[in-house]
Every structure is written in C-alpha cells, then in structure tokens.
Chains A and B, each alone.
Chain A
Amino acid sequence: MNTQQFLLSAWMWNPVVLAIAAAALALYLIAFRAADRIGWFVLALLVFLLTLVSPINALADGYLFSAHMLQHISLLLIVPGLLLVGLPRSFSLKWRPRILAHPLAGWIAGVGAMWFWHWPTLCNAAVTSRSVYAVQTVSLLILGTLFWSQVIAPREAERLSPPGAVLYLFSACVSCSALGIILTFSPLTVCPVYAIPAADPLGITNMIRADWAITPERDQQIGGLLMWVPMCLIYLGAIFAQIARWFGEPAPARTTSA
C-alpha cells in the first residue's frame, strides 16, 4: 500500500464514536439552542472525530507511537479546550465533589494523565486491548476538561486569576516537557508494542519503515518531541490568552479622588 492509498482508505467510521459526537451535538442544541459559541463546539467535535476516525487512529493502533501521541494531545488538550470555549458564558461547571474544583485537582488531572498513560505497561495495554483503549480515551477527555476548567471555565468567576493561570499553565508545561524530554532521549522503549508490531493488519509496516523512513527509535523521538515542543506551545498559547485577559480588562472611569 502506498501513502496515498493509505490516507484514502484508513478511515474507520467507528459507529460508537460517531454516535457520541451526534449525541453531544444534539444535547448541546437541546440545552443551549444555537448559542453564538456553537462554532467552537462543532470545531471540538470535528477535531474529536478527526482524532478517532482518521488515519491518525489507524496509525496509533499499533503502528506509530508518535500518532498515539498526537491523539493523546488532541484528546487531552485540544478537544476539551475547544469544548469549554464552545459553552455559553453563563454555563456553570458545578464539579462534584467540590474538591474537583480545586486548582491542584485540575493540575494533577492534566499533568497526571500524561504521566499515567505513558507508564510502559499501560501504554502497551491501551494498544492491545480495545477496552483499555476506550477507558483511556474517555479518561483523557474528562481529565482534560478538569484541567482546562481552571483556566477557561465559561464563567469568569470559576476561573483562576490571570497571573495564577499563567503559573498553572507554565508549571504544567514544564512537567509535560520533562516527560517529553525523557521520551525523546530515553534509551529504553516506552511503549514496546509499537517497536515490535505484533501483526500488520493494514499491511503498512513496509510503507512506514521504507517510504516514511520512521524507525522505532525515531518514532519514539517524534512522540517525545511532540509532547516537549508543540504541546508546550498549546500551553503557551493559553498563557498568551491569559496575558491578553489580564491587560484587556476594560478600564473603569477615572476617579477624581487620589
């Protein structure tokens, strides 16, 4: 199979994924009608679909660690972030139990998800077992939402102050970079199932190794670098948004008293 054939044929229209996306859209329309932020919500669903039905998913399914990392970043950061931005500003996230609303809980959720799912045993299990994979996908979405809600909760009152949010995002960025650095330079294979593919149902191993020139070592490096650099840029983008929020506060009318 060559690259073009692969890119055209490797779309897996998983009915569960499609149903979830459709249900989410339906719920949104019922709850908020066509609120003006619906564009962001639809974008979130599109990214969600792209992550789980496109060739990225096929590659992540036992072929490429780096594709798995793309999925991971997308499900943990991009989709939950867009979802939250897509909610109407009046919507309140009432986390129960209350402890989930604590910044430390959000931080541990966002950073912990990264470290937890890259434990070699779990990373392997998520590839070899469909049910673990499903758990991973759902957990990433939930943990990502917990993480972002501290920064971009629809209600201003439920967010961290801009300087606090900058520290929150920056420390998360550093922690993920640390893992990315470990993955990039580790002489060990973090997710062995990608290094020695058990089977080749799509018949694309040759294409990956020969046409794309991605060896298992390089694959893990790309995965690590994706977490180290572009993922940090997402946090950085959010940091800019916080700075804009900080300086963008409308100035109150001038008071005459000193």
Chain B
Amino acid sequence: MNEIAAVLERTGLLSPEEREHWKMAWLSTVDHKRIGILYMMTGLVFFVIGGIEALLIRLQLAVPRSTLLHPDTYNMVFTMHGTTMIFLVAMPVLFGLANYIVPLQIGARDMAFPRLNAYSFWLVPFGGILLHFSFLSGGAPAVGWFAYAPLSETPYSSQSGVDYWALSLLVLGIGSVGANINFIATVLCSRAPQMTLRRLPLFSWMIFVNAFLVILALPVLNAGLVMLLIDRLLNTHFFLMPGGSAIMWQHIFWAFGHPEVYIVAIPAFGLLSEIIPVFSRKPIFGYEFVAGSTVAIAFLSLGVWAHHMFTVGLGHTIDLFFVASSMLIAIPTGVKVLNWSATMIGGRIHFDTPMLFCIAALVQFLLAGLTGVSHAVAPLDWQTKNSYYLVAHFHFVFVGLIVFAILGALHYWVPKMSGRMLSERLGKWTFWLMVIGFNMTFITQHFLGLAGMPRRVFTYSDLPGWGWMNMVATVGTFFMTAASLLFVWNLIVSLLNGRKATDNPWNAWTLEWATTSPPPHENFRALPPIQSRRPLWDIAHPDRPDPVVGSRGRIDQFKPEKNKTSIICFILSETGFFGVLILAFLYYNASPQPGPNSHELDLLTTGLFSICLFASSFTIWRAETGLRNNQQRRMIGWLGATIVLGGIFIAGQGFEYWHLFKSGVSVSSNLFATTFFTLTGFHGLHVCVGLIALLILLGLALAGDSRKKPWPALDAVGLYWHFVDVVWVFVLSVVYILPRLQ
C-alpha cells in the first residue's frame, strides 16, 4: 500500500510528514480539497455499482422474453440503479466538485465550516451503505426511485427494503442540507475581500443559488420520508386507505423531485458556463443573463411539480395551469443555451476533451429540453409518460447534460487537483465512445417509447421493431462502459506518470488557476487583485483589461457573520419541513373522522406550558442583551431561566402525551392522532435539540468561554430558539385553536 502513498506524495496530494499515516490523513481530513476528492471518489464507487445495475437492466432487456433476471430482482435492480445514480452519484460528485472548486474560485482558504463539511461528506458513504445493506436484509427496495404509495407501504412491500431506502435517503438528505448551508455560508462569508458578489465566477454563483434550492427542497422529501416511515413502522396510514391519500405521497415526492432535477442540473449549467468560454477564448456572452436565468430556473422549479402528475388524474383545471407554468421553464433554460452558443460564435474554439464534452452536453441538453417541452403538454404526456420516451428524456438530462458536463469538468480540473495532465488521446477516445454509446442507447429509446414500450417492465413481447431497438440500446451501454473504464484508466495513468500540469494549463481566468497545481494547504500564498470577473485575464493583458465590475459597497461587500448565516439557512430549511407537516395536518383533518379528535386536547394545560415556551423567547433575548452589555452573571442567569422554561414545556408535553396514552389514544388510532403526534412530536424534538444546545452554551459560559469576544454562538442558538417558538405559534393555532373555531 505504500506505493499509493508514494504516488500521492509525488503528485503533491500528501505532505511528507503525513506519509506514515496517509490513510488517516485522508480519512480524518477537514480540508475542502481532500473532502471534495473524497466526495468524488465515493461517487465513483457508487457509479460503478449503479453502472453494473444499469448493465444488468440492459442485459435483461436486450432480447424479448428474457429470463436472465427474476422479475423481483429486476425491480430491485432498477430501483437501486435510479436511487444510486441520483443520490449517490450525481449529487456527491457535483457537491464534491463544488467543494473543491468554489473556495478556490472565490479566493477562500477553506469552506466556512470545515468540520460540518467533513460531517456532510461522511453521511454520504454511511447513507450509501445503509441503502445497500438492504440487499443483506432480505431484499433491496423494489418500488422505483419514487417509491409510489401504496406500493411502498407495508401491505405491498412487507420486507425491510423500503425502510432502508427511506432511512438512507433521510441520512443523505441531511448531509445534502448540511453541505449546502456550508456553500451558502462560504460564498457569503469567506470570499476574498475584492471578490464582490457580482464578480463571482458563474460556477460559484450557480452553486450558491442552487444551495438555496437544496435547503428548500430536501426537507420536503425528508418530511415525506418521515411520514412513510411512520406509516411502515408504527402502523399508521398517511398514504394508505382508509383516510390516507396515496396522491399525497406523489405531491410531496414531486414537490421535492422536480427541484431535484434542477439541483443536479444547475451545477452542470455552472460547469458549462466555466468551460465553454475558456475553450472559446472569449468571455461568457451575457454573464448577467446566465446568472439571472439561474435564479429564474430555481424559483420556477419549486412551483411546477404537478406536471409530473398529469397522468394521475388531477383534473383538467389543474393540468391546464401546470401546462402553462411548466412551459415557462423553457424560457430561462433557452436563454442559457443561447448564451453558451453565442459565446462560441466567433471564438477561437479549442477542441480539447473538456470542450468536446461540453459541446456534446449542450447538444444533448437541447434535445432533452425539446422532449421536456413535449412532456409539458398534458395530452402528449398522457401518451408518453409511462413509456420509454420518458426514460429517454430524463436520461438525456441526467447523462447527456449532467454526466457529460461532469466528465468535461473532470478533464478540465483534474490537472489542478492532481498536478498531472490527463492524456488527450485517451480523453478523446473516452469522449467518442461515450457519445456514440449514449446516443445508441437513448435515442433508440425515444422510438421505443413512441412505439408503445412501457417503462418499468422486466421484459416485453417480440413486437415489430422492439427486439432490435432494445438490442441497439444494450450494445450502446457497453460503449459507455468502455468509455467509463477508459476514463478511470486515464486517471490512474496520469497519476502514475502523467505530464506535469502547470498552474494554469488551459490559460483560464478564474482564481483557482492562480495557485499551484495542486494548491497548497490553505490554497493561496497571495491573491491577485480582483476587479472584474476574469482576474487572470486582467493580469495577462494589462493593456486591455476587462471592464471593472462595480462594487456597490454595502451589498456587494455583504459579508455577514457565518454562524448567524448558517443558522438562518438552517431555519429556512426547517421551515420547509414543518410547512409540509402543517399542511399535512390541515389536509388530513379537514373533515372530522371517527375516533379521537382535537376536542380531546386540554387547551388550558397546553396554554399554560405554551406560555412558558413563549416566555423563554423573552429570557433568551435578555441573555443576549446581558452578553452585549458584558454582564456575565446576568447572561448566565437568563440562560438558565430559558432552559428551565423550555424544560417545563417539554415536561408539559410529556404530561399531555401520557394523558392521551392513558385514555387509549396512540399514534395509530386515526389520522388525527397520527398527524397530531407527528407534528407536535417533531416540534418537541426540536425543542429538545434547542435545550441541548442551550445546555452546551451554559456549560461553556460557566467555564468562562463567553468572556471571549465575540461569542457568536449565543446569537445563533437564540435565533434557533426563537424559530422553535414561532413554529409553536403555528402548531398551537392549527392543532388546538383552529378546530375549536369551526
């Protein structure tokens, strides 16, 4: 194994002191560059697993009436393929790239929270192991990556596969939220002083915008997963009859699922926006439009999920609105495609491997967009939704755009990461094998879909044309496999004896190329001046620099305190989670149902302990004032009072629960009880977390830590505590007060 250490040391990925304990040095790292590489390596491992699953699917479908895989095995394989590729490949690799590149591009030393960064990363392999453990526990989930209820419920999937699926997605979801809170805090709080917000390179800008999408969309899925798990483990029926609603699961899943498409697409847009200008030797055409349309895409994507449900039967009225709004997304994406094309027009295009992949991604994405618009038309969608046409469409997005952009980006940035160039010859072979294989597989699937082949089937009859088209699709996957192997080979060869990479081998213009390859521990020895969006161009061409991008002062220089920033982002994210739970409570309790209902609740007792909780918002505010006025004892006193008041609230809630249990009300009694315990229980859990944080603060304050100036922890925890109180205002009104008014 010492050869690996030797190779790593030779390329500069390991310092000589670390040689003896090189594994620990990498596994215990909090350096954003190493974490980025770990993310990508994890993604690569799961890419191999997901790729083998894809091969199995295609081998089974190569000929009609094949018996290679058992139908159940086939269902497991395609569920795992989808889940793996999205949650364990696309997201980790993109977050890994962002982890590596964003701090360099903005001239930061590291991410804002290096330990949170390591934590977020480690949740990925653990989530992945949890998911794959289901194979050993009696069978992987076999319900598709969207796990539609009621198929995913206990009566129809009695084995624990779906439980592992839901748990692992929860783990991964929490990791993603953590990582993206970190991206926001890094971009806002750790930028180099001259790197104003409007000078951000487009990849960093898009990761920043995308991070908001992640922290808003993932909690929606988390809420749905929690409900599914409660259904399965505690015998309730959120998504099951009687009373429950299977459609509700689809709403929750797609309210997450549609933004999710953009969560992996927007970083890919960012990659194209970095690479295409460099290899066209021109600045990006219309930076403002590319940056602005990203915001548009992010916002639009949050509100159009119902177009995934045209075939469910929501009614013409709903369909009509979502046809219109879904088509709108074509505008900002079209703007981007035009900008990238216009960047290439008149440029001196260098057809190196990164650029080839980006051009291919652009073309493939254009086709994906066209079929996407056809899915926005509800009547057309009814015909093609559950066919291979749809499979072809989203693989054009996920592979054609995202995987191609990632491959382009790796060929572009690996020299920066390893200090070694990749072989252009192998790169071009990879490219052509990939493009040919991809189009063989997926262009064919459009026609298969239009010929009526349904998706999710384990085999098919020998209908005219189906056999040979499926065979072509299967052969294509082997081309792609060869391309992937070639790429890994290229990586290994370049690491072993690749040509040394200079600091800036592509003559690019963003800050990551201003440091050595690979960059030193804290990234930069000295930062160049930054006055425009292409600082390295300005240095290379002092006679004709880019126009200065203004700094508006207050806003462009906006650099909030990072603890507060991260807690505000966390609160935003939690709002999404509680929003779903509150909406679910309203929905399920809209009409009264047999069994316990809100009139069993004792408003008086609850009112009393609610007052304690609200009072604690006041006491923590007093504690903050005490800290500001440097009155340590007073601050500690108010902090203690807050903890006592919060404790009373939890005790009161415990008393209420005990009372309900005693009178025979449990979480599975009826949907009122289910939603009541879910909503108040999760709120209670948050209060407990808040209490733990407060106790830690109290301990630190007693130990004298709060004498340090500044002590931002109290402000941050205070914000969280206020948030928990505000949530209780809503819970109290929706659960206790609203039903009494009717």
On whether the two chains bind one another, the answer is yes
Interface residues of A (CB under 8 A from B): 161-163, 166, 170, 173-174, 177-178, 181-182, 184-188, 218, 221-222, 225, 228-230, 232-233, 236, 239-240, 243-244, 246-255, 258
A212 CB → nearest B CB, Å: 12
B303 touches A232 (CB 8 A): yes
The verdict on B136 contacting chain A, using a C-beta distance below 8 Å, is no
* A162 touches which of B299, B303, B317, B555 (Cβ 8 Å): B555
With A186-B590, A243-B295, A254-B547 in contact, is A163–B529 under 8 Å at CB? no
A166 touches B321 (CB 8 A): no
Q: Give chain B residues whose Cβ lies under 8 Å from the Cβ of A233.
A: 325, 328
Identify the 4 closest CB pairs spanning chains A and B, nearest first: A258-B529, A247-B288, A243-B292, A254-B548
A225 touches B547 (CB 8 A): no
* B555 touches which of A163, A173, A188, A225 (Cβ 8 Å): A163
Interface residues of B (CB under 8 A from A): 194, 197-198, 287-288, 291-292, 295-296, 299-300, 302-303, 315, 317-318, 321-322, 324-325, 328, 529, 531, 545, 547-550, 552, 554-555, 558, 579, 583, 586-587, 590-591
Cα A186 to Cα B529 in complex, Å, equals 57
B303 touches A229 (CB 8 A): yes
Q: With A182-B587, A233-B325, A233-B328 given, can you name 10 additional A-B contacts, CB distance below 8 Å?
A: A178-B579, A178-B583, A181-B583, A218-B315, A228-B303, A236-B296, A247-B291, A247-B292, A249-B198, A252-B548
Q: Give chain A residues whose Cβ lies under 8 Å from the Cβ of B549.
A: 251
B217 CB → nearest A CB, Å: 12
B583 touches A188 (CB 8 A): no
Counting chain A CB atoms within 10 Å of each CB, the highest count among B296, B303, B325, B579 belongs to B303
Q: Give chain A residues whose Cβ lies under 8 Å from the Cβ of B591.
A: 187-188
B548 touches A251 (CB 8 A): yes
A187 touches B295 (CB 8 A): no
B299 touches A236 (CB 8 A): yes
A221 touches B583 (CB 8 A): no
Cα A20 to Cα B292 in complex, Å, equals 40
Cα A248 to Cα B287 in complex, Å, equals 11
B360 CB → nearest A CB, Å: 30
Cα A243 to Cα B289 in complex, Å, equals 9
With A178-B579, A243-B295, A251-B549 in contact, is A229–B325 under 8 Å at CB? yes
A121 CB → nearest B CB, Å: 9
With A239-B295, A249-B550, A258-B531 in contact, is A187–B590 under 8 Å at CB? yes
A12 CB → nearest B CB, Å: 28
B576 CB → nearest A CB, Å: 9
What residue in chain A is nearest B300 (Cβ atoms)? A236
With A166-B295, A232-B303, A258-B529 in contact, is A188–B547 under 8 Å at CB? no
With A221-B317, A252-B550 in contact, is A240–B590 under 8 Å at CB? no
A182 touches B583 (CB 8 A): yes
List 13 contacting pairs A-B, 8 Å CB cutoff, sorted by A.
A162-B555, A166-B295, A178-B579, A178-B583, A184-B318, A188-B591, A221-B317, A232-B303, A233-B325, A236-B296, A249-B550, A249-B552, A252-B548
Interface of A is mostly: helix
B194 CB → nearest A CB, Å: 8
A224 CB → nearest B CB, Å: 9
A254 touches B531 (CB 8 A): yes
B232 CB → nearest A CB, Å: 24
Q: Give chain A residues whose Cβ lies under 8 Å from the Cβ of B586.
A: 182
* B317 touches which of A182, A218, A248, A254 (Cβ 8 Å): A218
A19 CB → nearest B CB, Å: 37
* A229 touches which of B295, B324, B587 (Cβ 8 Å): B324
Cα A189 to Cα B700 in complex, Å, equals 54
* A225 touches which of B318, B531, B552, B583 (Cβ 8 Å): B318
Cα A166 to Cα B208 in complex, Å, equals 14
Q: Give chain A residues whose Cβ lies under 8 Å from the Cβ of B324.
A: 229
Cα A247 to Cα B324 in complex, Å, equals 28
Q: Give chain A residues whose Cβ lies under 8 Å from the Cβ of B529.
A: 258
* A228 touches which of B321, B328, B531 (Cβ 8 Å): B321
Q: Give chain A residues whose Cβ lies under 8 Å from the Cβ of B198.
A: 246-247, 249
Q: Give chain B residues whose Cβ lies under 8 Å from the Cβ of A228.
A: 303, 321
Cα A163 to Cα B315 in complex, Å, equals 37
Q: Give chain A residues whose Cβ lies under 8 Å from the Cβ of B299.
A: 170, 173, 236, 239
Cα A66 to Cα B259 in complex, Å, equals 28
What residue in chain A is nearest B212 (Cβ atoms)? A170
Counting chain B CB atoms within 10 Å of each CB, the highest count among A184, A250, A253 belongs to A184
Cα A166 to Cα B197 in complex, Å, equals 15
What residue in chain A is nearest B216 (Cβ atoms)? A174
Q: Give chain B residues whose Cβ lies under 8 Å from the Cβ of A181.
A: 583
Cα A225 to Cα B554 in complex, Å, equals 39
What residue in chain B is nearest A175 (Cβ atoms)? B579
Cα A155 to Cα B315 in complex, Å, equals 46
Q: Give chain A residues whose Cβ lies under 8 Å from the Cβ of B587.
A: 182, 185-186
* B558 touches which of A163, A177, A253 (Cβ 8 Å): A163
Cα A251 to Cα B531 in complex, Å, equals 11
What residue in chain B is nearest A255 (Cβ atoms)? B548
Cα A170 to Cα B198 in complex, Å, equals 20
B317 CB → nearest A CB, Å: 5
A249 CB → nearest B CB, Å: 6
Cα A58 to Cα B328 in complex, Å, equals 32
With A254-B547, A258-B531 in contact, is A188–B317 under 8 Å at CB? no
Cα A250 to Cα B531 in complex, Å, equals 15
Cα A187 to Cα B547 in complex, Å, equals 58
Q: Give chain B residues whose Cβ lies under 8 Å from the Cβ of A250.
A: 550
Cα A72 to Cα B300 in complex, Å, equals 23
Q: Give chain B residues whose Cβ lies under 8 Å from the Cβ of A243.
A: 291-292, 295-296
Cα A221 to Cα B198 in complex, Å, equals 42
B554 touches A229 (CB 8 A): no
* A251 touches which of B317, B328, B550, B558 (Cβ 8 Å): B550
Cα A239 to Cα B371 in complex, Å, equals 28
A173 CB → nearest B CB, Å: 8
Q: Give chain B residues whose Cβ lies under 8 Å from the Cβ of A178.
A: 579, 583
Counting chain B CB atoms within 10 Å of each CB, the highest count among A166, A228, A248 belongs to A228
Q: Give chain A residues whose Cβ lies under 8 Å from the Cβ of B325.
A: 229, 233
B26 CB → nearest A CB, Å: 37
Q: Give chain B residues whose Cβ lies under 8 Å from the Cβ of A185.
A: 587
A111 CB → nearest B CB, Å: 14
